[in-house]
Copies of this chain bind each other. A is one copy, B any other.
């Protein structure tokens, strides 16, 4: 395990400290909790709370700030945070106008957030939640745990966050968050595994010439494993899986996110986007905005995901609204 760390058991603690020390103008920590909140938020607005296991940085603490999240709850590496932590986040940011929980669809996350929601409701706090499930590598059916939540989550943070910043009600913020979820689809692939520090060894293996298509952000299995192909072929396959699940028509407006899982250089992400853009244009789809970078990573895993968000006028306006967070800024 080649990592720049001190002790595998304290990576989350030291990471939080390093993050707060880097950006005290944006972030502060709730004492004794792995909860990061905005340095300053307006007194009256719907608060947005997200979170999940660590190891996906900049998600989610990097999205805490003006126009996005009010709090992020950080679990251990690849492990859902527990309700006591989530509850503390809710209490820290609730300003009386209600709290929206943005949850990625993993059994542990969903249950831990939902227990907390019940706890908070018992205390009279208005809490709503949405579950992001953009990963088309997993079939969505009543008889499975359903699609996983991956990089598309960042669009939910951005758009619901902009809506909340505008002063909308909890119901409105939830509505627009759910609209994003209904209109975003993603798919990932991996070239290499990653190593959870406490485990000390990679969570799976791939041969020198192999890749896994549909790989999840914790190394969950994808649709299949095959020999590495040229970037363009990989992209075409992944986009087809996305289109199968969410057909696009001519003149549709979309936002694109080409998300690096961490080990893949930006150069390759741009090469991927070159093809993504071509395919979309060839279908007559209008690419309204593109985001290429590392938004939702998977420790040191090499690979990427593509997310496509279908836009209407409301989503465009909110996507372009001002945001000022460590990892996502719109001037």
Contacts and interface: CB of A to CB of B under 8 A. Distances in A.
A274 to B, nearest CB: 3
A3 B304 CA distance: 11
Contacts of A269: 18
A51 interface: no
B22 A292 contact: yes
Nearest to A12: B267
A268 B4 contact: yes
Contacts of A322: 331
Contacts of A249: none
A11 B267 contact: yes
A183 to B, nearest CB: 20
A17 B4 CA distance: 34
A73 to B, nearest CB: 16
A302 B4 CA distance: 9
Nearest to A61: B270
Nearest to A273: B18
Nearest to A322: B331
A interface, over-half SS: mixed
A131 interface: no
Contact of A21 (B208, B228, B274, B324): B274
A191 B19 contact: no
A324 B205 CA distance: 41
A294 interface: yes
B230 A299 contact: no
Contact size range, A: 35 or more
B331 A270 contact: no
Contact of A299 (B4, B267, B271, B272): B267
A265 interface: yes
Interface string A9-31: 00100111111011100000000
A271 B4 contact: yes
A98 interface: no
A321 B299 CA distance: 33
Nearest to A272: B4
A277 B11 contact: no
A25 to B, nearest CB: 8
B5 A297 contact: no
Contacts of A246: none
Interface string A277-317: 11000000001001110100101101110000000000000
The 7 closest A-B pairs by CB, nearest first: A18-B274, A18-B270, A57-B266, A22-B290, A21-B277, A18-B273, A329-B329
Given A21-B287, A262-B265, 11 more contacts: A5-B230, A14-B231, A16-B270, A17-B274, A18-B272, A22-B291, A22-B292, A54-B267, A55-B267, A58-B266, A266-B297
17 contacts: A2-B191, A4-B234, A4-B271, A5-B231, A5-B271, A6-B231, A14-B231, A16-B270, A18-B273, A18-B274, A19-B273, A22-B277, A55-B267, A262-B263, A265-B299, A294-B294, A329-B329
